[in-house]
Structure 1
């Protein structure tokens, strides 16, 4: 036990933040072939992982009808995935220190794709939930490890831009997972759509593995030293700067997932009566997230984090209030504003974790994503109570509270 701690501490000394010149000498620089390959592979990673996570969101009304369950119960198809994903991420960030980054991400994507296909095939609701829960567990090897890989391998001056590209890939995946599911459901069925989604993500996983450069700055810590990892997590949880980012991550998904979960039910009811394809088309708003995340990463490198975080939460607040409109145009405009604000803030917050975390970037990233996905799981399901007891206005008031709190926390973040 003691010996492995010493080994880990030696690894930490080698990669001390003050020696950034050593990191930059082997860092991937913008404009190189490796940078292009990294960007494409991480875009595929973001696409596959997030389309798998969120492909069930436009299907919640279909689940309610097919299995005779309430809206709150149907939301468990997403909440089980994100809830177990949050816990799995915490462990995956630690295991990646022993197993390596690339292989863990690839294996996670492959297993999650298979789980999605299984969820499409099983006949019972509880079986579908089990498959989605396992999917969340195996997907834990992607998000935190991807953030750590970027922070370790990309030249620091271009980290914000590259993180923005990765988040853009997650936005594209989240959009195609939702929009594509609606179109495929109309052509086949919701089961057929989930099967096709799983197969596409298997192909994306292979493309990711072929293109991603191998790590150059990663220092392997063999074995699983419980004391070492607990100490690392405790160190990050005692860092006020990181705590702010973790709370921001919780607020972001609390707003975003809750609003989108129950927007599907609102649009499927009178006076809109949208079908599956029409509901899914609303998620085209994610295209604004693809652009805003990339732009936000670049601006954060130039202007600092604080103004962009505040602007992102302000857009989410304004967009939430805008959806109170009885007109479809007002609702769509509000959803676009919420989406844009979300991806601005998430891109900036996730990109800020690595520089504040010192050497143990996998641990810091996993904690950020633990809070991030707990917001999706806890508030996303709790929103069902607000929907059933207060309708859409209760959902909006809930998200408005989180948006306001997010602006307050963002105002305390250091400029750089």
Structure 2
């Protein structure tokens, strides 16, 4: 079947483009702060505004895809986000840069908001696995490549040139997506108007405490994670005296997340979701604590442990939410998990930057550890309830969320 390789290439390219653009400024936050005379909290808005706008837009965009079609939403998403990425280096003020980043977040929302549903419509359950794997890989590669590329070229080219390089890379990926992404088949059954009404019917997605616990893990986990990484560049460059290009190499720790998320999925079948999720959150806390000493090796080790723990927790929580979604509300649960995930990224990253800028690294670690422990308490407090058929063995499968 020719369509499967085409869609695999298309969604992988879209994932690289979208997540490279979304997180590209993270490596150059110190340069933005210096150029626009900002503190770390102010500079962190370059990330927080985009992820916050994505969170606000994801449910409306998913609903819109019921009317105009999912492929069209994905194509508009990748093209518009690249165009805005090419405009970012031209921003004359930080305020104008934030406006562009907010618009870019709305544009990017079209990919994670509808990609999973598009793949299921196109390939069905039997053919979707390979495309899902390609999308996860593309999202991960994009998130890491965007950060690494900007960090490595920021010193010779400045933040303007660094963001332009990432936009150029994403433009190539967008062209690949346009050329390879097949059209969706006509949807059967419910009308598009009915699908639109269903997309905003969120009551069932809030109906179970176990789902609320996973939403809490999504928000607190990613908020802590992004807060630490937003401030990491400032600490490495200004406190430990590391060159910006070398400091950006810490984002190679993301490779640990790819390994740990897959490992967590296998451990769930053996030890259960709750045990693996709690253990993952504890590992994340340990990772944050390891970064406290003013020692480069300890900071790097802490970031590696933190990254592995967070991605494992995210994978388990995401899969748990999908497994517990009430019949007919899987799309709403997926959308709400996405919403809480990116709200946590936006709020946590910005608040973390403020805490670091005003009180220092140790207080940032204390705050993020408290958020993680609160999420863990929510998981433990949530009653187990009756086991549903197949829920205990569900693997974390949602591909849309990657940092």
What TM-score do the two structures reach when normalised by structure 2?
0.85
**CA gap 1:349/1:388 in 2 versus in 1, 3 angstroms:** same
Deviation at 1:395, TM superposition (A): 0.8
Tell me the alpha carbon deviations over residues 237-269 of structure 1, each in whole angstroms, 9 at most, x when there is no partner. 223333222211101211110010111111111
Q: Is the 8 A contact 1:82 1:376 kept in 2?
A: yes
Q: Give the equivalent residue in structure 2 for 1:51.
A: 20
Q: Is the 8 A contact 2:227 2:349 kept in 1?
A: yes
Q: Give the equivalent residue in structure 2 for 1:280.
A: 248
Deviation at 1:153, TM superposition (A): 5.8
Q: Give the equivalent residue in structure 1 for 2:387.
A: none
**CA gap 1:371/1:51 in 2 versus in 1, 3 angstroms:** same
Q: Give the equivalent residue in structure 1 for 2:290.
A: 322
Aligned partner of 1:310 among 269, 278, 287: 278
**CA gap 1:197/1:81 in 2 versus in 1, 3 angstroms:** same
Aligned partner of 1:222 among 164, 169, 192: 192
Give 3-state SS (helix, strand or coil) of 1:358's partner. coil
Q: Is the 8 A contact 1:168 1:291 kept in 2?
A: no
**CA gap 1:341/1:158 in 2 versus in 1, 3 angstroms:** farther
Give 3-state SS (helix, strand or coil) of 2:328's partner. coil
Deviation at 1:363, TM superposition (A): 2.9
Partner Cα separation in structure 1 for residue 311 and residue 130 of structure 2: 13
Q: Is the 8 A contact 1:153 1:215 kept in 2?
A: yes
**CA gap 1:245/1:146 in 2 versus in 1, 3 angstroms:** farther
Q: Is the 8 A contact 1:48 1:205 kept in 2?
A: yes
Q: Give the equivalent residue in structure 2 for 1:116.
A: 85
Partner Cα separation in structure 2 for residue 287 and residue 34 of structure 1: 29
Task: Point out the more displaced range, 283-292 or 254-263.
Answer: 283-292
Task: Point out the more displaced range, 162-171 or 359-368.
Answer: 162-171
Deviation at 1:67, TM superposition (A): 1.0
Deviation at 1:216, TM superposition (A): 5.2
Give 3-state SS (helix, strand or coil) of 1:50's partner. helix
Q: Give the equivalent residue in structure 1 for 2:148.
A: 179
Task: Point out the more displaced range, 194-203 or 143-152.
Answer: 143-152
Deviation at 1:277, TM superposition (A): 0.5
Task: Point out the more displaced range, 198-207 or 33-42.
Answer: 33-42
Partner Cα separation in structure 2 for residue 331 and residue 161 of structure 1: 36
Q: Is the 8 A contact 1:175 1:283 kept in 2?
A: yes
Q: Is the 8 A contact 1:44 1:207 kept in 2?
A: yes
Aligned residues between the structures: 383
Q: Is the 8 A contact 2:66 2:195 kept in 1?
A: no
| Structure 2 unaligned regions, length at least 5 | 385-390, 394-403
Q: Give the equivalent residue in structure 2 for 1:205.
A: 174
Tell me the alpha carbon deviations over residues 47-96 of structure 1, each in whole angstroms, 9 at most, x when there is no partner. 22111111001111101111112211111111110111100012112112
Tell me how large the CA RMSD over aligned residues is: 2.8
Aligned partner of 1:65 among 30, 34, 58: 34
Aligned partner of 1:268 among 225, 228, 237: 237
Aligned partner of 1:87 among 51, 56, 78: 56
| Structure 1 unaligned regions, length at least 5 | 1-31
